[in-house]
């Protein structure tokens, strides 16, 4: 949420900032703004709404400044989306500019104190206290890095910031505490950004800034200091293997559609090199747990938010069946404030596409305090959650830009299944025969998903057209497909703004069945080989006898289902363990196609942003 890009070097700065912001726009699109140094002073240009509006404004700027600049795309937390609340924000004299991702929790107090000293504020944001605090320190005689460090010592909350000053226009300052920030190290130029794709066109060499660190960037140098005491810190440069084109739409109309179509590859990349196709053995030493540690586990606790939480719920069914350990799946925003009943024999598994999700990260930290071990499932190399866990299973799904998560979800499901096979083989809770069976079915999944997309996309398009005007939807599943019902409903509501609820089908009679009438379409997930199939059919009958319309996903050739459902979309027969992956695909396509026919902005749904780095 909120995207920051910063540049110092010799290039024309506006195109760099705009390209960076274009690649960060998934993080927020309430407003966008840039600041650069031009003819001896700082120019700030900001526009309400999507980046396009800023682009239009900049097209009329008429000059091509070089050297230093900052850009920001906003997801508002404090202060309505409006031009005057757009970043960058400045000090009283507009000699200093700041972009910020995060929340300054004590901004009321700080603002009151600064106003008493005569500072004039122009916005309602929490962010604006930062340039004013820095201004105070500059006036007290400190140089820019020290002024930033001292200013930040007064701030409580979360921040990733970029700063530059008209009196030192060769120097860009970056600092972070609980919001992500990565530095891009170029030749004769340096960058800072909230996320890797923003700097990929120019460099693949990056430094991940940690909490409590700041950086002084000039075109030829990058120095990292501790925010606590200003001491120098040596950091390693990491090399990124994504390329710039991976963050492009590649001819698809939307990122979401491209990412749906990329799933066969993303799933394959997740298990490639980790799953022996002959023996079904899994090798994931990167989880960094010894066999003794795996054997000593008494409990698993999965921590996640949103779509990743649904992946975690699927994980619970898998772990409980094949690893025989109790599993709790916890929402990050709840877990972090709960009384924790976990200890060093608990394994926590934080799941997050970005590895920066604020609530998941805070939960991980609490679990670490009581000695729990942690193995993360993440897509972004070097992200904070991966650095704070004992080990990580990277999903290798490539950059996910669409705000509605798709390929990250199915690769998280794949990674969870790998972990289940790995623990099952180590703890001997899974026989070799079962392991081979599950491995064989996972190996088939990329091919099955590819064929499935090809087959169902036109059918789903028709369905979406016919049901586009419905205002409510129910999604029903049982057992391992219950979380997929939740995920299907979430996808529909987030991008098409249709009210949708996911339910465990057996729960219908405890309340939701009262909602059923001819205006309530019900999407039922009913594979014929699941042990709860008959129960599912009974639940479908119950809906049908109340004039509900059933849209069903089920197994090819299932005549019983075809008889009870109004419309059916058939899927290939697949094993229970991989069925969540396959049954997700048509639901993603349905949400996508409904959103398209309703004219919604698929990649940038209202009020949302990706990579939720605030509480």
Q: E-strand spans in 283-383?
A: 299-304, 327-331, 346-352, 373-378
C-alpha closest to that of 351 among 297, 255, 415:
415
In which order are the strands placed within the sheet that holds 89-90? 89-90, 96-104, 157-165, 172-177, 213-217, 222-226, 232-233
Decide: is 604 part of the binding site for ligand HGA (CB under 6 A): no
Question: In the complex with ligand HGA, which residue's Cβ is closer, 308 or 496?
Answer: 308
Site string for ligand HGA, 57-86 (x = CB under 6 A): -----------------xxxxxx-------
Decide: is 99 part of the binding site for ligand HGA (CB under 6 A): no
Residue of 22, 23, 46, 100 that binds ligand HGA (CB under 6 A)? 100
2 a catalytic residue: yes
Pairing of strands 182-185, 190-193: antiparallel
* DSSP state for residue 346 in the 8-state scheme: E
d(CA 301, CA 360): 12
DSSP string for residues in 507-551: GGGGTGGGG-STT-EEEEEE-TTSTTHHHHHHHHHHHHTTTPEEE
* Range 570-589, binding ligand HGA (CB under 6 A): none
Decide: is 530 part of the binding site for ligand HGA (CB under 6 A): no
8 A C-beta contact, residue 192 and residue 172? yes
The CB-of-345 to ligand HGA minimum distance in angstroms stands at 36
8 A C-beta contact, residue 614 and residue 607? no
* Range 11-30, binding ligand HGA (CB under 6 A): 28
Question: In the complex with ligand HGA, which residue's Cβ is closer, 358 or 571?
Answer: 358
Stretch that binds ligand HGA, among 11-19, 125-133, 438-446, 550-558 (CB under 6 A): 125-133
Stretch that binds ligand HGA, among 122-130, 200-208, 232-240, 495-503 (CB under 6 A): 122-130
The CB-of-179 to ligand HGA minimum distance in angstroms stands at 7
C-alpha closest to that of 143 among 87, 110, 96:
96
8 A C-beta contact, residue 35 and residue 202? no
Q: Which residues contact 590 (CB under 8 A, 6 or more apart)?
A: 460, 463, 464, 488, 491, 492, 523
Decide: is 246 part of the binding site for ligand HGA (CB under 6 A): no
The CB-of-384 to ligand HGA minimum distance in angstroms stands at 15
The CB-of-27 to ligand HGA minimum distance in angstroms stands at 7
In angstroms, the Cα distances linking 308 to 189, 344, 350, 352, 401 are 37, 24, 9, 6, 15
Decide: is 611 part of the binding site for ligand HGA (CB under 6 A): no
Taking the mean position of all CA atoms in its chain, how far away is CA 205? 22
Decide: is 354 part of the binding site for ligand HGA (CB under 6 A): no
Decide: is 125 part of the binding site for ligand HGA (CB under 6 A): yes
The CB-of-66 to ligand HGA minimum distance in angstroms stands at 28
The CB-of-362 to ligand HGA minimum distance in angstroms stands at 15
Q: Which residues contact 345 (CB under 8 A, 6 or more apart)?
A: 296, 297, 298, 299
The CB-of-262 to ligand HGA minimum distance in angstroms stands at 26
Decide: is 356 part of the binding site for ligand HGA (CB under 6 A): no
Site string for ligand HGA, 26-55 (x = CB under 6 A): --x---------------------------
Q: Which of 204, 258, 316, 610 is catalytic?
A: 610
**Per rule CB under 6 A, count of chain residues that contact ligand HGA:** 18
C-alpha closest to that of 100 among 64, 151, 168:
151
232 forms beta bridges with 225
Where in the sequence numbering do the catalytic residues fall?
2, 610
Which residues lie near ligand HGA (CB under 6 A)?
Answer: 1-2, 28, 74-79, 100-103, 125-127, 613-614
């Amino acid at each position: 949420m909120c995207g920051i890009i910063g540049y110092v070097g010799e290039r024309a700065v506006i195109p760099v900032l705009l390209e960076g912001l274009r690649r960060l726009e998934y993080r927020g699109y309430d407003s966008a703004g840039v600041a650069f140094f031009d003819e001896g002073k700082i120019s700030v240009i900001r526009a309400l709404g999507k980046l396009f509006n800023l682009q239009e404004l900049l097209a009329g700027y008429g000059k091509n400044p070089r050297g230093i600049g900052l850009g920001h795309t906003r997801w508002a937390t404090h202060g309505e989306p409006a031009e005057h609340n757009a970043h960058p924000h400045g000090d009283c004299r507009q000699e200093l500019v700041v972009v910020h991702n995060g929340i300054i929790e004590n901004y009321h107090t700080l603002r009151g104190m600064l106003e008493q000293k005569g500072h004039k504020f122009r916005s309602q944001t929490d962010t604006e206290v930062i340039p004013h605090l820095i201004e105070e320190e500059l006036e007290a005689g400190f140089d820019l890095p020290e002024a930033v460090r001292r200013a930040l010592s007064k701030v409580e909350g979360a921040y990733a910031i970029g700063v530059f000053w008209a009196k030192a226009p060769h120097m860009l300052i970056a600092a972070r505490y609980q919001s992500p920030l990565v530095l891009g190290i170029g030749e004769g130029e340096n960058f800072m950004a909230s996320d890797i794709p923003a700097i990929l066109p120019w460099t693949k060499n990056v430094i991940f800034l940690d909490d409590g660190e700041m950086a002084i960037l000039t075109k030829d140098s990058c120095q990292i200091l501790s925010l606590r005491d200003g001491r120098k810190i040596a950091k390693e440069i990491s090399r990124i293997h994504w390329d710039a084109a991976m963050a492009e739409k590649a001819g698809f109309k939307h990122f979401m559609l491209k990412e749906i179509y990329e799933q066969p590859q993303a799933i394959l990349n997740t298990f490639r090199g980790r799953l022996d196709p002959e023996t079904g053995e899994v090798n994931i030493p990167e989880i960094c747990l010894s066999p003794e540690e795996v054997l000593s586990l008494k409990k698993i606790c999965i921590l996640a938010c949103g779509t990743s939480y649904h992946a975690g719920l699927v994980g619970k069914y898998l772990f409980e069946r094949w690893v025989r350990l109790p599993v709790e799946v916890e929402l990050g925003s709840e877990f972090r404030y709960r009384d924790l009943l976990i200890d060093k024999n608990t394994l926590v598994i934080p799941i997050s596409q970005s590895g920066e999700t604020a609530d998941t990260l805070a939960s991980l930290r609490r679990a670490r305090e009581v000695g729990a071990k942690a193995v993360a499932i993440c897509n972004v190399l070097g992200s904070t959650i991966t650095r704070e866990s004992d080990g990580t299973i990277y999903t290798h799904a490539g950059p996910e830009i669409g705000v509605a998560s798709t390929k990250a979800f199915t690769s998280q499901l794949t990674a969870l299944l790998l972990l289940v096979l790995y623990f099952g083989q180590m703890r001997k809770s899974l026989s070799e025969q079962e392991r081979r069976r599950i491995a064989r079915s996972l190996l088939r999944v990329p091919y099955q998903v590819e064929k499935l997309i090809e087959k169902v996309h036109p059918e789903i398009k028709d369905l979406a057209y016919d049901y586009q005007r419905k205002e409510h939807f129910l999604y029903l599943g049982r057992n391992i497909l219950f979380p997929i019902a939740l995920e299907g409903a979430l996808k529909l509501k987030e991008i098409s703004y249709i009210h949708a609820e996911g339910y465990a089908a057996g729960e219908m009679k405890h309340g939701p069945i009262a909602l059923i009438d001819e205006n309530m379409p019900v999407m039922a997930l009913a594979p014929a080989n699941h042990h709860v199939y008959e129960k599912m059919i009974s639940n479908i009958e119950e809906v049908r006898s109340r004039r509900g319309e059933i849209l069903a996903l089920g197994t090819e050739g299932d005549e019983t289902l075809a008889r009870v459902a109004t419309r059916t979309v058939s899927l290939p027969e697949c094993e229970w363990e991989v069925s969540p992956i396959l049954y997700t695909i048509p639901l993603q396509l349905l949400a996508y196609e409904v959103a398209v026919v309703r004219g919604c902005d698929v990649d940038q749904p209202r009020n949302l942003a990706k990579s939720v780095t605030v509480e």
